[in-house]
A = this chain, B = another copy of it.
Amino acid sequence: MNMTFTARATSAARTAAAPIAPVAPSHAVLRPLGLDEVTIRGGFWGERQRVNGTATLAHIAGWLEREGWIANFDLAASGALPEGRRGREFSDSEVYKYLEAVAWEIGRLSAADDAAGAGAAGSADAIAGLDARFRAVVARVAAAQEPDGYLNTRFGRPGQEPRWENLESGHELYNLGHLFQAAVARVRTRPDADDGLIDIARRAADLVCEVFGDDGIQSMCGHAEIELGLVELSRVTGDERYLRQAQLFIERHGTGVLPDIEFGRSYYQDDIPVREADVLRGHAVRANYLAAGAVDLAVETRDTELLGALERQWTNTVARRTYVTGGQGSHHQDEAFGDDFELPSDRAYSETCAGVASIMFSWRMLLAEGESRYADLIERTLFNVVATSPSAEGTSFYYANTLHQRRPAEHASADEVSPRASSSLRAPWFEVSCCPPNVARTFASLAAYLATADAGGVQLHQYAPASIRTTLDGGGEIALEVETAYPAEGSVRVRVLTDAAVPWTLSLRVPAWAAGAQVAVRDAAGAVVPEASAALEPGYARVTRAFAAGERVELDLPIAPRFTSPDPRIDAVRGCLVVERGPEVFALESVDLAEAGITATNVADILLDAAVPPREADGRVLVAVRERHPGIGSWPYGDEVDAAQAEASVHEVALVPYHEWAQRGPSTMRVWLPA
């Protein structure tokens, strides 16, 4: 398969062979349904997609211009560099991630238009505007590319550091990885586009293969990312050299090619070969990007040993090094995983980009192996990390996502770049601003993470109001309409719009927390079909049937609020409980204390009454708590420090979904409540 073939493929063939989606394995247990096959229609994620498309993308474009990160390409083209260059060594990548997000957004809007009938969604103007902006930025990037394919505004010119000599921290290859992902997104969503981004990417990739190939520099980038970009570039172009280069980079990890540094070689996963490691470690974004690329490689090369190593790493990382929110990364210092069970709430780094990267790793594992646990973690991370990052307006973002805010959270200026990416601060832009465009590209392509197909049917992994239309590998066309107010409600109704001649299987994920879920099948007249209806254990509820148009599958997930305990080895939250409701983690925010008649103004002074289960009333989740007022003694250790008893009276206080916190003024917050 080559690029031309892909680009000219008919719609049907393209659907089967290369979905309009960020990940398109040439073979896998599950085939992702792309943006032309799944359209989110409102609800929790639809609202976020709307805000992303109408506010966030323009916000990002504005800051990229304002900070000069796009203008760096202009300076490169005019030979003005290095003077005047602005931004860090990875600023080029933010431009590429923005391009990727815009490409997906164009695809998303176009698909919605297609699904609704031409022009019905009224988004033709929006699409045209985005496309013009996309082309304009691509033209500026193109002008900066050097004749041999090199593309980076920070290295290689007189007065700049030379090319490829600071691989451990220069991010040159990392930047290109994001370029490749942007080009792939463009080809998949606009195969007929003539903006040339794919050619820019190929020229850069060809140079990389030449410089870093079997006989080239035997090293790699300190920040993994190019690996998965190269595999996808190989997938859309059919050029096996890119896959080979990805393999070389992946297998150089763990051989000590990069220097030992303060954080150790684990920081960039150069401590242990990928196929030998047992758990993710080091910088959490790098670790997950590398793992994601390695799954891509394992799938393309049918390397079951490598895939097994990644499954093992995923399993151990989730069991020992992941926050209840799905967040990963316990260290601010090196943005890294901690040791097993080292999961401090107050110093949770849980970088938004690590959440995105974790989803990328899990999604690839899900496609490769088809197990619900991967989709479970994706759901948890989407609701409690990725959705937490942006404000409701989509114009400020958390970079780090703490689980415990001890002092009233700062609020950033809406008009200034924040130097404090790592603090508990939603800010419009950061000096290191990887997270906003990472959220944007995820939201714009989110429909591609909802559902998959295999020869036997369709699998729904994430629940949102959605239209799904696909053709099974066996040839049968299937159309579904998903109706749900999830996660506000636990009811998911899937209407089948197509008649099937032969039975096929509709699989609905039952999250691990949803033991006792119910599934019911109703015929077109609304009558329950008893033999297909049952109570369910977590995993997938599978209904196999020659569905007739008008039939419905109804899944009911028990989403009553619940207490959850931590493993006793997680020292940071010993003796605490967290409240969850469905896939959402809840938090206590100090702004809710007064309404409950509590005089304390800091969540530090609140004790949970664990004997009273959390309950729901008027759409709010309530828990019983007591106040305590320990004074400041002279020394916080000794026999007397326990004397600070809680008051007798119990108050019922409302919690908020964690992803909503810090949107009502400065507050203290905690997810884990001491019992």
A330 nearest in chain B by CB position: B347
Contact indicator B260/A630 (Cβ below 8 Å):
no
A129, CB-defined interface residue at 8 Å: no
Q: Is the CB of B331 within 8 A of A347?
A: yes
Q: A637 to B327, alpha carbons, bound, how many Å?
A: 13
CB-CB under 8 A for A637 and B568, given A262-B420, A420-B262, A574-B574: no
Residues of B within 8 A of A9 (CB): none
Q: Which residues of B contact A318 (CB under 8 A)?
A: 634-635
Contact pick for A636, options B320, B421, B512, B571, CB 8 Å: B320
Known: A262-B422, A406-B340, A419-B262. A567 touches B345 (CB 8 A): no
**A419 proximity list for chain B (CB < 8 A):** 260-262
Q: Is A570's CB within 8 Å of the partner chain B?
A: yes
Q: Is A604 an interface residue (CB 8 A)?
A: yes
Complex interface residues of chain A between 33 and 51 (CB less than 8 A to chain B): none
CB pair B571 A345 closer than 8 Å: yes
Instruction: Check if B638 sits within 8 Å of A565, measured CB to CB.
Output: yes
Q: Which size bracket describes the interface of A in this complex?
A: 35 or more
Q: Which residues of B contact A571 (CB under 8 A)?
A: 345-346, 404, 572-573, 576, 672, 674
Does A642 belong to the interface (CB within 8 Å)? Answer: yes
User: Chain B nearest CB: distance from A261 CB in Å?
Assistant: 6
Residues of chain A in range 318-360 having any CB-CB distance to chain B below 8 Å:
318-320, 322, 324, 330-333, 338-342, 344-347
Q: Is A407 an interface residue (CB 8 A)?
A: yes
A603-621 interface (Cβ within 8 A of B): 604
Is A564 an interface residue when CB atoms closer than 8 A count as contact?
yes
A456 close to chain B: CB less than 8 A: no
Report yes or no: B319 in contact with A632, Cβ–Cβ below 8 A: yes
Minimum CB distance partner of A344 in chain B: B344
Asked whether any CB of chain B lies closer than 8 Å to the CB of A575, the reply is yes
Nearest neighbor of A419 in chain B, beta-carbon distance: B262
Known: A319-B634, A406-B341, A567-B630. A333 touches B422 (CB 8 A): yes
User: Given contacts A566-B641, A642-B565, A644-B568, are A406 and B342 in contact (CB under 8 A)?
Assistant: yes
Which residues from chain B contact A633 at a C-beta distance below 8 Å? 319, 567
Asked if A315 lies at the interface with its beta carbon under 8 angstroms from chain B, I say yes
In the complex, the answer to whether B637 meets A565 with C-beta atoms within 8 Å is yes
A565, B638: Cα distance in complex, Å: 5
* Nearest residue, chain B, Cβ from A646: B568
**Which residue in B316, B568, B672 is a CB contact (below 8 Å) of A641?**
B568
Q: Is A162 an interface residue (CB 8 A)?
A: no
Q: Point out the residues of chain B lying under 8 angstroms from A319, CB to CB.
A: 632-636
Known: A342-B346, A636-B341. Contact between A568 and B642, CB under 8 A? Answer: yes
Interface assignment of A569: CB less than 8 Å from any CB of chain B: yes
Is the CB–CB distance between B578 and A576 below 8 Å?
no
CA distance A140 to B637 in the complex (A): 49
Is A125 at the interface (CB under 8 A from chain B)? Answer: no
Q: How many copies does the complex hold?
A: 2
A639 to B641 CA separation, bound complex (whole angstroms): 30
Q: What is the chain B residue whose CB lies nearest that of A420?
A: B262
Q: Are A320 and B632 in contact (CB under 8 A)?
A: yes
Least Cβ distance of A407 to chain B in Å?
Answer: 5
Q: Pick the contact of A634: B315, B431, B578, B674 (CB < 8 A).
A: B315
**Alpha-carbon gap, A576 to B632, bound state (A):** 20
CA distance A641 to B564 in the complex (A): 9
B-side contacts of A573, CB under 8 Å: 571
**Contact call A567/B422, Cβ cutoff below 8 A:** no
How far does the Cβ of A410 sit from chain B's closest Cβ, in whole Å?
A: 9
Expressed in whole angstroms, the Cα–Cα distance for A332 and B262 within the complex equals 12
Q: Chain B residues near A431: list those with CB within 8 A.
A: 262
Which residues of chain B come closer than 8 Å to A639, judged between CB atoms? 564-565
B344, B512, B632, B634: the one within 8 Å of A373 (CB): B634
Q: Does A597 belong to the interface (CB within 8 Å)?
A: no
A569 to chain B, nearest CB (A): 5
- Is A62 interfacial (CB-CB < 8 Å)? no
In the complex, A119 has a CB within 8 A of chain B: no
Instruction: Select which of B345, B568, B575, B637 is within 8 A of A324 by beta carbon.
Output: B637
Query: Of B322, B341, B578, B637, which one neighbours A567 at CB under 8 angstroms?
Result: B637
Of the residues B260, B263, B574, B637, contact of A575 by C-beta under 8 Å: B574
Interface residue? A79 (CB, 8 A): no
Asked if A264 lies at the interface with its beta carbon under 8 angstroms from chain B, I say yes
> Complex: how many Å from CA A674 to CA B570?
11
With A333-B422, A571-B572, A571-B573: A566-B635 Cβ-Cβ less than 8 Å: no
Taking CB atoms, residues of chain B closer than 8 Å to A332 are: 331-333
Selected contact of A344 from candidates B260, B572, B574, B630, CB within 8 Å:
B572
Q: Which residue of B lies closest to A410 (CB)?
A: B264
Most chain B CB inside 10 Å of its own CB: which residue of A340, A347, A404: A347
Once A570-B636, A674-B568 are accepted as A-B contacts, the answer to whether A420 and B347 lie under 8 Å apart by CB is: no
Check if A604 sits within 8 Å of B341, measured CB to CB.
yes
Residue of B nearest to A343 (CB): B636
Give chain A interface residues in 465-522, CB to chain B under 8 Å.
Answer: 512-513
30 CB < 8 A contacts A-B: A261-B419, A262-B420, A262-B431, A318-B635, A319-B632, A322-B636, A324-B637, A332-B333, A333-B422, A338-B406, A339-B406, A341-B636, A342-B346, A344-B346, A346-B571, A347-B347, A512-B634, A564-B639, A565-B637, A566-B637, A567-B644, A568-B630, A569-B604, A569-B636, A571-B572, A571-B576, A571-B672, A571-B674, A574-B574, A575-B575
Q: Top 9 A-B pairs ranked by shortest CB distance? A: A567-B636, A339-B406, A332-B333, A333-B333, A567-B641, A262-B419, A574-B575, A575-B575, A324-B637
Listed in ascending order, the chain A residues whose CB lies under 8 Å from chain B are: 260-264, 315-316, 318-320, 322, 324, 330-333, 338-342, 344-347, 373, 404, 406-407, 419-423, 431, 512-513, 564-576, 578, 604, 628, 630, 632-639, 641-642, 644, 672, 674
Q: A260-B419, A332-B332, A333-B422 are in contact. List 7 more A-B contacts (CB 8 A).
A: A262-B421, A319-B632, A333-B333, A341-B604, A342-B406, A344-B347, A568-B674
